[in-house]
Amino acid sequence: MYNTYVDVLGYENFIVIFYYFLYSKYYKATK
């Protein structure tokens, strides 16, 4: 299920979304 989810998004897109999530979480924590 997890592997299928990554395959549907595309691995590169998954990495971008993951880093964006971490960045937004860090940004909100510092603000």
Cα–Cα–Cα angle for 24, 29, 30, nearest 5°?
100
| pTM of the full structure | 0.47
C-alpha distances in Å from residue 6, one per residue of 2, 3, 12, 31:
6, 5, 9, 31
- Using an 8 Å Cβ cutoff, are 21 and 13 in contact? no
| Rounded Cα distance, 10 and 30, in Å | 30
pLDDT at residue 17, rounded to an integer? 86
pLDDT, tens only, 1-31? 566 665 666 777 778 888 999 999 998 888 7
